A = this chain, B = another copy of it.
Amino acid sequence: MRVSYADMKKEFKRILLSRGFNEDQADLSAELFTENSLDGIYSHGVNRFPRVIEYLEKGYININAVPTLIESKGAFERWDGNLGMGNVNAKKAMDRAIELARQNGIGAVALGNTNHWMRGGAYGWQAARAGCIGICWTNTMPNMPVWGGKDCRIGNNPIIFAVPRAEGHVVVDMAVAQFSYGKMEECKMNGQLLPVPGGFDTAGELTRDPAEVLQTWRALPIGYWKGSGLSILLDIIAAVLSGGKSTHEIGRLGGEYALSQIFLAIEAANIAGNEFLNTAVNNVINDVVSSEKADENGRVFYPGQMEQQTRADNLANGIPVNEDIWHKICEM
């Protein structure tokens, strides 16, 4: 079944209001959950919503808490998220990074003590809509071994890069794990192999069998040793600049909260000039999508293109939902 954007947002908002959120926070959070679903990122939209309500009930999320400024130095600010709603906190942090960029060319916000931001790409799209280049990342609980290690010590720490473009923004939103556990669960349920190796099996060999990786918890970072190092650096930078917790500290909390995040905005449209910016980005995109195809029936997408197609389809025809999940939400 498919649910309209308006109906989905209304349900989310109703539930958040019923849990004690004020009008502004409920509206913004509901909007962010709905937009993620609209763009096809159901795992961090409609499908994730019930788990966030569970987190509310466990007390991991401080209802109506907003971030507070801890320290300011020019174009850089450190904020405490006060364990408020993760998507609302992240949206406000990127808003502030954009304001700082308007004044200083570049703006940086480090946000500690916050909650899961759901889909990090949302804050990249947000920056791009404001004419800014956006770069942001978060740390997570430990969910992968470091390269050469066996037990989970590093996070999949998603990182986002976004560039504005009149014909559709260009956005990469990637965890530094090759596959999420959600994706591996899905492949396992469908009896499918992963398209490329996703981790180590019980014999210590690389495998495409999701069931094996789900058993060993030895998921692969992108680029093997490279993504492992990248994960460590993203974690350190987020924790150190925000004054918040790093992945290994989050791992001792018993739940994934009190995360550390970085938000950078650069005023691309003003710096580069709108016309140069758009021509330059278009030239790269046009070159890339006109590649000779590896598979003659295949297609090359630019980063963000599929989300835009899904968004247009879902706006016109409603957002596809799993009926069980949707009924569960409607009864909340």
Contact = CB atoms under 8 A, between A and B. Distances in A.
A328 to B, nearest CB: 32
Interface string A46-58: 0000000000000
Interface in A170-216: 170, 172, 174, 176, 178, 196-197, 200, 204, 206
A61 to B, nearest CB: 25
B133 A104 contact: no
B293 A239 contact: no
Contacts of A103: 74
Given A146-B288, A284-B232, A302-B232, A271 B76 contact: yes
A272 B243 contact: yes
Interface in A278-302: 280-281, 283-284, 287-288, 291-295, 298-302
Nearest to A276: B243
Kindly state the interface size class of chain A when it binds its partner: 35 or more
A237 to B, nearest CB: 6
Given A108-B105, A241-B133, A236 B170 contact: yes
Nearest to A163: B236
A300 B146 contact: yes
A284 B148 contact: no
B104 A226 contact: no
Contacts of A302: 232
B148 A299 contact: yes
A43 interface: no
Contact of A226 (B222, B233, B234, B239): B222
Given A106-B108, A291-B153, A293-B148, A280 B74 contact: no
Nearest to A279: B240
B145 A291 contact: yes
Contact of A239 (B240, B284, B298): B284
Interface in A68-94: 71, 73-78
A75 B224 CA distance: 35
A175 B78 CA distance: 30
A178 to B, nearest CB: 6
A224 B194 CA distance: 13
B73 A105 contact: yes
A107 B73 CA distance: 12
Interface in A296-310: 298-303
Nearest to A162: B233
Nearest to A174: B226
A161 B248 CA distance: 20
A78 B277 CA distance: 14
Residue from A75, A196, A240, A276 whose CB has the most chain B CB atoms within 10 Å: A240
Contacts of A71: 271
B148 A295 contact: yes
A136 interface: no
A280 B236 contact: yes
10 contacts: A71-B271, A75-B104, A75-B105, A76-B104, A133-B240, A148-B294, A170-B236, A172-B226, A232-B284, A246-B283
